[in-house]
């Protein structure tokens, strides 16, 4: 239960706009692709929407009080792009920016470092109507949006993230149809990924101008892809899948090149690369954020693809994700050794379990505590081996809207009773609080 971390290690929690804010129709917010997706029958479990979510938009002060109780040092949240720029033809929505202004000030007042993420999947619907991420002009719009937010918050926010998990933006949204906007085209997915990363590069430039001295990074989500057996077929298939899922993104951002084997596989659907794009995408960063929850185990399907295999003895969370702390260790080591990243944060990690309130009104989430403890042990082991991990953000502070699974998956350290929106700290909240306090005490004593 006690793991060693550097004395300046940052303890945080993460969340995103659409998953917690609610207030979907207030103060001039425009429609996002997630509003549209949620209102399309059959897309989101039980017809759930982010209309109210955790009502963080109105309750953020109460939630910051919880963060203080927890001893949180940093809070990673995202800005809802359609709150700031509801439409390409209308001016900046000052009321939307004002909300983030108040939020940043309230966090700073509570001595909690805001880690501001510009894009966590809620693209303005109007931009989707004009073609969405597969279009280059969406990357241009993203750069302008970054500039607007940087202008307003850059004097106070010192830690910025451009994109959260560009794999999900592109493949889940445009390739596999599981997320908004729900398209199923490989060509669109690869073009979307290209423009998301291009927009990332331009946004870094915009933030360097508008938030001088700030640290800027991107959040990627390495999922180790392991072969089910060591047969050459399975090993080759796992490597190919790793190319699509992981190397495509890591190589573009960290090496300025797409992996040859993946390009060859997708020659008919190749992304529209202009001269200089890859240099823009691989502009130097101050840190890379790693979101890791689990791994995938696969075998060759005999047709160039893979079939998912359930790991024999792995425990599963309520997402059906295998509990596999070694995958966190592997991902961090990979970023550092293979890709030369010398500044990392774990920007998301956590677990959904079927939490219930007991007779005492409390939530005794022992499985979550065990999960977090195992993963923190894996992170501490990486740190001990010289991997430069600077902080950890648990996903998530509150139970929230889990995308196409709606409110059915609870990841929070705080239970949210959705009908009343009451917040009930779970046992894991108290556990994390003690861990942060102990780590801080150890740092002071050293």
Query: Given 147, 322, 330, 348, which residue is catalytic?
Result: 348
Nearer to ligand FCB, 221 or 277 (CB): 221
The helix-helix angle for 136-153 and 186-210 (nearest 10°) equals: 30
Q: Which stretch binds ligand FCB (CB under 6 A): 46-54, 150-158, 164-172, 335-343?
A: 164-172
Binding pattern to ligand FCB, positions 358-397, x when CB under 6 A? Answer: -------------------------------------x--
| Pairing verdict, β 225-227 and 296-300 | parallel
The verdict on whether omega for the bond into residue 87 sits within 30 degrees of 0, i.e. cis, is no
Determine, following the binding rule CB under 6 A, whether residue 402 of this chain makes contact with ligand FCB.
Answer: yes
Determine what percent of the chain falls in helix, strand and coil, rounding each to the nearest 5: 45, 15, 40
Residue in 165, 241, 242, 365 binding ligand FCB, rule: CB under 6 A:
165
Give how far Cα 301 sits from Cα of 171, 184, 267, Å.
20, 21, 21
Residue in 188, 251, 348, 399 binding ligand FCB, rule: CB under 6 A:
348
Determine, following the binding rule CB under 6 A, whether residue 411 of this chain makes contact with ligand FCB.
Answer: yes
Sheet holding 296-300, edge to edge: 225-227, 296-300, 306-309
DSSP H helices in 110-185: 125-129, 136-153, 166-167
Nearer to ligand FCB, 403 or 432 (CB): 403
What is the token pair recorded at 115?
């880690």
What is the token pair recorded at 134?
């597969």
Q: Which stretch binds ligand FCB (CB under 6 A): 45-53, 86-94, 152-160, 163-171?
A: 163-171
Residues 378 and 174: their CA atoms lie apart, in Å, by 33
Residue in 403, 407, 429, 431 binding ligand FCB, rule: CB under 6 A:
403
Query: Given 21, 165, 322, 330, which residue is catalytic?
Result: 165
Nearer to ligand FCB, 172 or 228 (CB): 172
Count CB atoms within 10 A of the CB of residue 23.
18
- Give me the phi and psi of 344, to 5 degrees please: -125, 150
Q: Cβ of residue 221: shortest distance to ligand FCB, in angstroms?
A: 6
Determine, following the binding rule CB under 6 A, whether residue 349 of this chain makes contact with ligand FCB.
Answer: no
Nearer to ligand FCB, 122 or 159 (CB): 122
Determine, following the binding rule CB under 6 A, whether residue 16 of this chain makes contact with ligand FCB.
Answer: yes
Determine, following the binding rule CB under 6 A, whether residue 164 of this chain makes contact with ligand FCB.
Answer: yes
Nearer to ligand FCB, 168 or 436 (CB): 168
Q: How far is CA 130 from the centre of its chain?
A: 25
> Is residue 367 among the annotated active site residues?
no
Determine, following the binding rule CB under 6 A, whether residue 126 of this chain makes contact with ligand FCB.
Answer: no
DSSP H helices in 53-93: 56-70, 81-84
Q: Cβ of residue 406: shortest distance to ligand FCB, in angstroms?
A: 12
| Segment 245 to 304, residues that bind ligand FCB, using CB under 6 A | 291
Nearer to ligand FCB, 48 or 221 (CB): 221
DSSP letters, 294-353, are --EEEEE-SSSSEEEE--TT--B-TTS-B--HHHHHHHHHIIIIIT----EEEEE-----
Determine, following the binding rule CB under 6 A, whether residue 117 of this chain makes contact with ligand FCB.
Answer: no
> Is residue 109 among the annotated active site residues?
no
Q: Which residues contact 277 (CB under 8 A, 6 or more apart)?
A: 194, 198, 201
Which residue shows structure tokens 């997706």?
37
Determine, following the binding rule CB under 6 A, whether residue 100 of this chain makes contact with ligand FCB.
Answer: no
Q: Cβ of residue 441: shortest distance to ligand FCB, in angstroms?
A: 31
Q: Which stretch binds ligand FCB (CB under 6 A): 80-88, 162-170, 196-204, 268-276?
A: 162-170
Q: Shortest CA distance to 393 belongs to which of 20, 36, 70?
A: 70
* Residues marked as catalytic: 165, 348
Residues of this chain that interact with ligand FCB (CB under 6 A) are: 16, 19, 164-165, 168, 221, 291, 348, 395, 402-403, 411
């Amino acid at each position: 239960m006690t793991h060693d971390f550097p004395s300046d290690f940052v303890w945080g929690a993460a969340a995103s706009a659409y998953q917690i804010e609610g207030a979907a129709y207030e103060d001039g917010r425009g429609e996002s692709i997630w509003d549209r997706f949620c209102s399309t029958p059959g897309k989101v479990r039980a017809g759930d929407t982010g209309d109210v979510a955790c009502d963080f938009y109105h309750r953020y002060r109460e939630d910051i009080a919880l963060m203080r109780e927890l001893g949180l040092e940093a809070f990673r949240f995202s800005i809802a792009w359609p709150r700031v720029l509801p439409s390409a033809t209308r001016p900046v929505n000052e009321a939307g920016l004002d909300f983030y202004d108040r939020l940043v000030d309230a966090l700073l007042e509570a001595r909690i470092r805001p880690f501001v993420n510009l894009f966590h999947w809620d693209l303005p619907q109007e931009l989707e109507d004009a073609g969405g991420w597969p279009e280059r002009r969406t990357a241009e719009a993203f750069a302008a949006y970054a500039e607007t937010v940087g202008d307003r918050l850059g004097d106070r926010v010192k830690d910025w993230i451009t994109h959260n998990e560009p794999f999900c933006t592109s493949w889940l949204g445009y390739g596999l149809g599981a997320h908004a906007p729900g398209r199923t085209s490989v060509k669109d997915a690869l073009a979307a990924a290209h423009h998301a990363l291009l927009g990332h590069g331009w946004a870094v430039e915009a933030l360097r101008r508008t938030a001088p001295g700030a640290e800027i990074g991107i959040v990627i989500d390495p999922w180790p892809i392991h072969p089910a057996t060591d047969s050459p077929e399975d090993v080759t298939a796992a490597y190919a899948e790793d190319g699509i899922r992981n190397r495509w993104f890591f190589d573009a951002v960290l090496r300025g090149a797409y992996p040859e084997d993946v390009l060859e596989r997708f020659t008919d659907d190749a992304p529209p690369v202009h001269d200089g794009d890859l240099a823009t995408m691989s502009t130097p960063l101050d840190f890379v954020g790693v979101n890791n929850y689990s791994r995938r185990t696969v075998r060759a399907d005999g047709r160039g693809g893979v079939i998912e295999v359930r790991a024999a003895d792995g425990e599963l969370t309520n997402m059906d994700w295998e509990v596999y702390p070694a995958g966190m260790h592997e991902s961090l080591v990979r970023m550092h050794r293979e890709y030369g990243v010398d500044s990392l944060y774990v920007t998301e990690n956590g677990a959904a379990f079927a939490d219930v309130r007991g007779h005492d009104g409390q939530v005794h989430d022992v499985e979550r505590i065990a999960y977090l403890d195992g993963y923190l042990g894996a992170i501490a082991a990486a740190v001990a081996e010289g991997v430069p991990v600077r902080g950890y953000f648990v996903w998530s502070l509150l139970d929230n809207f889990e995308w196409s699974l709606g409110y059915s998956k609870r990841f929070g350290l705080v239970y949210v009773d959705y009908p009343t929106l009451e917040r009930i700290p779970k046992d894991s909240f108290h556990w994390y609080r003690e861990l942060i306090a102990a780590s801080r005490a150890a740092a002071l004593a050293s």
